[in-house]
Amino acid sequence: DGGITQSPKYLFRKEGQNVTLSCEQNLNHDAMYWYRQDPGQGLRLIYYSQIVNDFQKGDIAEGYSVSREKKESFPLTVTSAQKNPTAFYLCASSIGGWVTTYEQYFGPGTRLTVT
Amino acid sequence: SQQGEEDPQALSIQEGENATMNCSYKTSINNLQWYRQNSGRGLVHLILIRSNEREKHSGRLRVTLDTSKKSSSLLITASRAADTASYFCATNTEEETSGSRLTFGEGTQLTVNP
């Protein structure tokens, strides 16, 4: 089965703790993305990576960090510096490309609750 | 403000009716895409339309693009209760630094009543 997996589906953390969200794809896609979605709103881009060992900040990167050491994996760390981390986090991948874009394939999402 | 803005924010129709959602954007694009999201799930890609295309069809879906007005519409014909979901437009701009990134709108919540 090809696709994108995110784990866990639900995650609970105490304020002040860092937490890492997992995203794995076996689609052989070069590009991967992390989005944040708040209730009733659209997706906002946190970080994206167009190739292994490279990544760029999106629109709301503050308080987040990523790594891209393997083509199939793009973990997102929500640090204690993120002031309002409770949200639904979505990972996606695409064939990639530096000039244009193709359709993105999304994982099922991780709902993070920080109290 | 948003690159892509959908209109209306919410739409409620009866099964069998057509549903039309609109998307407006601000800067020149390479392509525009429509996605669907069922509650609490990931997004699913529906259609990609390139800047040199005016209309595309896929099953019961019809997408139009008017680059002079910087707008797109998604038409779902003969709607079904299973079409109930949020629909998002997403744009890939012509900016050199944008690469493969997309900018999503706020979405239209479609409810199809049986």
Facing residue for A96 by CB, picked from B2, B100, B107: B100
Give me the mean pLDDT over the A17-33 stretch: 95
CA A103 to chain centre: 16
- pLDDT attached to residue B98: 58
Closest to A101 in 3D by CA, of B51, B73, B87? B51
Contact B44 A97 (CB under 8 A): no
| pLDDT single digits (tens) B20-70 | 999 999 988 889 999 999 999 999 999 999 999 999 999 999 999 999 999
| pLDDT single digits (tens) B57-106 | 999 999 999 999 999 999 999 999 999 999 999 998 766 555 678 899 99
Closest to B27 in 3D by CA, of B51, B46, B48, B56? B51
All residues of chain B having their beta carbon less than 8 Å from the beta carbon of residue A106 are 35, 42-44
pLDDT, averaged across chain A = 92
* Nearest-by-CA chain B residue for A42: B106
Contact A109 B42 (CB under 8 A): yes
User: From residue A80, how far is each of A85, A109, B39 by CA, in Å?
Assistant: 9, 21, 28
Comparing A105-114, B3-12, B22-31, B62-71, the range with the smallest average pLDDT is: B3-12
Interface A:B, Cβ pairs < 8 A: 74
Residue A99 has pLDDT above 60, yes or no: no
Residue A100 has pLDDT above 70, yes or no: no
- pLDDT attached to residue A3: 93
Spatial distance between the Cα atoms of B17 and A72, rounded to a whole number of angstroms: 42
pLDDT band at A93 (very low <50, low <70, confident <90, very high): very high
- pLDDT attached to residue B107: 94
pLDDT band at A97 (very low <50, low <70, confident <90, very high): low
Q: What is the DSSP string of B19-86?
A: EEEEEEESS-EEEEEEEEE-TTS-EEEEEEEETT--EEEETTEEEEEETTTTEEEEEE-S--GGG-EE
Burial class (CB in 10 A: 0-12, 13-18, 19+), A62: exposed
- pLDDT attached to residue B99: 64
- pLDDT attached to residue B1: 36
Question: Per DSSP, what are the bridge partners of residue B90?
Answer: B33, B104
Contact B44 A98 (CB under 8 A): no
- pLDDT attached to residue B3: 62
- pLDDT attached to residue A40: 85
Closest to B2 in 3D by CA, of B93, B85, B65? B93
- pLDDT attached to residue B66: 97
